């Protein structure tokens, strides 16, 4: 489903003159449909950069990212026009960022159900029911459902972000350290949700810091050195 070939991202920045920073260099891996691939490696090695290239937050400097999409057939994410990438993001590809950006003054439940309203064309009432179910499963206390996530704990915010990403069952889900702020019990609940998504046919690529988490959940591990 995904073939990453010779992917590199170089940043040209200006601090006291021009500097070149290697985001990631010569990355090669493949992922089959329905697989879970984990990416492991030390801080600063370029894990988030790879995911951002896959989601096209970053335009790769070199290399190809072939993706077998269901809407357009085979596309090269490294070169696909922006308007097609927007359609892919809206319809097929989900992303959970490493650092949480909560939307101000929107309640937790509305943050979670919004993708359903935008993508699945169901009523607010039905979307809310499904979002509540998911938040219960992720052990978010009910009194927080209508509160603003900006005041939530790190782990609560992370679970809201995950709920928003999995509720619409994207075909491909990119996860950047989705369990970093969670306690052991929450990690297990979240991992079981990812596995359920996989059983239902989704393909997942996740960056993890703890090797044991990566080993417990993935079919393949890509190690960066």
Ligand X SMILES: Nc1ncnc2c1ncn2[C@@H]1O[C@H](COP(=O)(O)OP(=O)(O)OP(=O)(O)O)[C@@H](O)[C@H]1O
Binding of ligand X by 23 (CB under 6 A)? yes
As measured in angstroms, the least distance from the Cβ of 178 to Mg ion is: 12
Residue number, 47 or 56, with CB nearest to Mg ion: 47
The answer to whether the CB of 51 falls within 8 A of the CB of 95 is yes
User: Please, which of residues 35-64 interact with ligand X by CB under 6 A?
Assistant: 41, 43-49
User: Please, which of residues 23-82 interact with Mg ion by CB under 5 A?
Assistant: 47-48
Site size toward ligand X, by CB under 6 A? 13
Binding of ligand X by 97 (CB under 6 A)? no
Taken in order 217, 134, 201, 209, the sign of the CA dihedral is negative
Residue number, 34 or 41, with CB nearest to ligand X: 41
Binding of ligand X by 10 (CB under 6 A)? no
As measured in angstroms, the least distance from the Cβ of 9 to ligand X is: 8
Binding of ligand X by 179 (CB under 6 A)? no
Binding of Mg ion by 218 (CB under 5 A)? no
Tell me the C-alpha distance between 32 and 95, whole Å. Answer: 18
The answer to whether the CB of 67 falls within 8 A of the CB of 2 is yes
Question: How is the chain split among helix, strand and coil, in percent rounded to 5?
Answer: 40, 30, 35
Task: Sheet containing 73-76: give its strands across.
Answer: 18-31, 2-14, 62-69, 73-76
The answer to whether the CB of 2 falls within 8 A of the CB of 51 is no
Binding of Mg ion by 97 (CB under 5 A)? no
| Binding region for ligand X (CB under 6 A) | 11, 13, 21, 23, 41, 43-49, 98
């Amino acid at each position: 489903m995904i073939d990453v070939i010779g992917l590199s991202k170089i940043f040209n920045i200006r601090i006291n003159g021009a500097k070149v920073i290697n985001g990631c260099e010569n990355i090669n891996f493949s992922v089959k449909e329905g697989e879970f691939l984990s990416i492991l490696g030390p801080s600063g090695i370029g894990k988030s950069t790879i995911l951002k290239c896959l989601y096209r937050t970053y335009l790769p400097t070199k290399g190809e990212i072939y993706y077998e999409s269901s809407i357009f057939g085979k596309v090269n994410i490294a070169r696909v026009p922006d308007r097609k990438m927007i359609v892919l993001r809206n319809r097929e590809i989900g992303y959970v960022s490493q650092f949480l950006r909560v939307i101000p003054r929107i309640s937790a439940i509305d943050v979670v159900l919004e993708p359903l309203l935008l993508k699945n064309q169901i009523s607010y009432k039905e979307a809310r029911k499904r979002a509540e179910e998911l938040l219960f499963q992720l052990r978010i206390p009910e009194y927080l459902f209508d509160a603003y996530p900006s005041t939530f704990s790190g782990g609560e915010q992370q679970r809201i972000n995950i709920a928003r990403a999995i509720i619409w069952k994207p075909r491909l889900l990119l996860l950047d350290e989705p369990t970093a702020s969670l306690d052991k019990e929450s990690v297990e609940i979240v991992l079981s949700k990812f596995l359920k998504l996989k059983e239902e046919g989704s393909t997942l690529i996740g960056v993890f810091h703890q090797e044991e988490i990566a080993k417990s959940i993935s079919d393949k591990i890509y190690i960066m050195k």
